[in-house]
Structure 1
């Protein structure tokens, strides 16, 4: 008699929740660790009123200047904070996404479901950003030019001692304002391109790379102004500008950015942001889909053939 078929896109019912959590954690660590140097350049280019040594004319110039004057290891400063936070945050992220996508009807095989996947992505980012935001603050404090923190623990202690617990979450509302539309763009675009490129729904690494890359580029470009504001808020403690140091929220950040740089200020770091998110999203989805397929195949092999 025929064997029971299970689509890897929806893990078998006998698969534990830890399947999605493990796949998500590995995807998040891989994504952030591999693309970290580009993220460091993006942070440097988004800083308002940088020191003369940290003024860059482009992505290539930033890489060249940082490596020649500060050493290649500078590009990896703070990576431990991301690795520590990305594992549990992405586990929560993908676990929430898969649960909500199924709950909202996004796993239906016929047609596209952008609202269901977009809403699931929004739920996922609300949960994961609450966990990741403090790690992101520490990461960016260590990425700025002139940072003297020797390790993640020292940076976290200093931020807490000087600015209190609120410093780790002052950017959280702005982060959500950015990441909710980002994830809605990303998940909707990814699911759309995945179904267009691979209507059969079989595991196909090339499809996941292309769909993930396109989704990351679209979402990153659309939300760059919000990312500039988030960087301002998360690095305000390092700023010499009084307005920046006292900035308390998104609208005030927008005002400062516009007054100091005009409309073009909202797109500082656009190129490295897209260059970072395009491959990192492709990596993230590829790793995640691979482990979903691997776990699904492993579970499927345990399912006995039903005979009569």
Structure 2
């Protein structure tokens, strides 16, 4: 099958993608919509007339972002709701609070490269818990609202970081292997892609499709745990022309393609630079494309089952 392409590329912005779209009547949720590419995703959706809920751990930050978006778009249908992806009670409260159909769920929030192994009260590694399990609980919890929309989309913001690691099902939480920040981040970003694959397989009959994407390299609050040495290396590579960073507006463009472009009305795809990414070959050294393990349907089914088992655990379970 040929790769899906659009009129947009790495230089496009979120505003470019939504130009000409009328999203009046569309109800959207954007996790982590208070900063970075999240707020630019909210801004683009609101500019096209959507009703957008900014789902954030810090409502004060969310309110500031909402005021900014209202001021720049004139759309007053921007609301804020608290959501802590590490707290399943918070996720459950968000789901219980939601009323009516949901046309678009953008799983954007995330954490990157925690320098030391940290575990939740359920014994889950924090990056996997935040980036995948919290979003899994949110997405499955909102299934009824998504189905009620008729033609809903789920968008999972993954990363080229997924190249660092498949999901290590035998030891997801580093109980028996040495913790590595980038391996942990990598498997959580692989999980984002696998969620899109399996959600589409399970829910396409309900009118729900899901896609995942790599937004590009963007310097935002996401990098707050990354060492200065690594950031210095990235900046040096940019000066040397081997790495190109995007603006947050450009980073949000691929999210918006997955959210509204008619070309991606089907699901289970991985996008980069506003187009479907190619599947990487064996032992490839480049930093583009998607690894086969991230699109593997068997891995996707296994992850879904494992994720359900995680959510069924008690906080004090071993």
> Fold-level match, TM-score > 0.5?
no
- TM-score normalized by structure 2? 0.27
Normalising by structure 1, report the TM-score.
0.28
Normalized per residue, the structure richer in helix is 1
Higher relative contact order (CA 8 A, sep 6+): 1
